[in-house]
Amino acid sequence: MSRALLRQARLTRRQLITFALASAAINGIITASVGAWLAQTYSAYQSRRQAIETIAHLVYERRTRAGMVASAIRRNADVEEVRHRKQAYDEAYVDWNKNVLLNLFAIREAAGDLKFSALEPIFEDHLIAAMADVDRCITKAYDARILNQDAKALLETCRMAELHQFVLDCGATFTNELYKLTRLTFIPFTGEFLKTKELAEAKIREACVTTAVPKTPPTPTPAAPPVAATVPEPAPASKPNETATPAKAEPSPASTGAATK
């Protein structure tokens, strides 16, 4: 039966072998290409997820360390405890700053932008700026505590509690939305990523821009009281017709005695 079909189709054995080899080669190329694309997609997904997890770790560590320093200052803890917590915070501060540029690259990659992402200015001008305000507040209060000054008042003046909460809200929203953007998908050209990106930008803008803590105005330095100019008093003027009367010299005892003799 099969031979009859081959005769009717006028296919030779060589043609069948060529067709089988060509089919195997095409299937191999397609399979290898799809496999390489899947592996690359999964590898990019893993690297993006790890980068976003690193950002979240750095944000929460620095915020937590700052809160521990502020807590020790508020309850008048021992100076050694305050110094120990400040040292741990400084280490988190260094880890954060040496990874700032890498964090911007991770945000750009998660947002699917090659050159610049709309999320970068929000990250720099609001989250990083708020963490810098926290750092200045903590440093001033720590220096005052070391000198046995009123450090609690400094924490209240620079709004440490509000800044601490803002870093939590903005940082949590930022990392959560970036985590959603790195969701693994093998279906391209659906437009779902663009919708997720627009929604993520709106939520991040609401959490980090709309509810930003206003800047604390600098405390004005009291001006020194003006120094009154000392005007020299004028010398008393002498009367024009008044002449000085010379004082009479008292006679010496010797001359008096000679006169009486």
Domain residue limits at 175: 50-210
Q: Does residue 71 sit within a domain?
A: yes
Taking only the tens place, the pLDDT of each residue in 164-190 is 999 999 999 999 998 888 876 656 656
Q: Does residue 188 sit within a domain?
A: yes
Taking only the tens place, the pLDDT of each residue in 64-120 is 999 999 999 999 999 999 999 999 999 999 999 999 998 888 888 887 776 778 889
Q: Does residue 255 sit within a domain?
A: no
Checking if the pLDDT of 193 tops 80, the result is no
Concatenate the DSSP letters of all residues of 87-131 into one string: HHHHHHHHHHHTTHHHHHHHHHHHTT-SS--THHHHIIIIIIHHH
Of residues 63 and 259, more confidently modeled: 63
Q: How many domains does the chain have?
A: 1
pTM: 0.66
Q: How far apart are CA 117 and CA 114, in angstroms?
A: 8
- Average per-residue pLDDT for the chain: 78
Q: How far apart are CA 189 and CA 100, in angstroms?
A: 32
Q: Are 107 and 51 in contact (CB under 8 A)?
A: no
Checking if the pLDDT of 243 tops 60, the result is no
Q: What is the pLDDT of residue 217?
A: 54
Reported as a pLDDT band with limits 50, 70 and 90, residue 4 is low
Q: Does residue 98 sit within a domain?
A: yes
Taking only the tens place, the pLDDT of each residue in 106-137 is 888 887 776 778 889 999 999 999 999 999 99
Q: Does residue 129 sit within a domain?
A: yes
Q: How far apart are CA 186 and CA 215, in angstroms?
A: 45
Tokens representing residue 131 in the block: 């963490």
Q: Are 130 and 167 in contact (CB under 8 A)?
A: yes
Q: Does residue 2 sit within a domain?
A: no
Q: How far apart are CA 162 and CA 236, in angstroms?
A: 69
Q: Does residue 70 sit within a domain?
A: yes
Q: Does residue 38 sit within a domain?
A: no
Q: Are 138 and 70 in contact (CB under 8 A)?
A: yes
Q: What is the mean pLDDT of residues 53-63?
A: 92
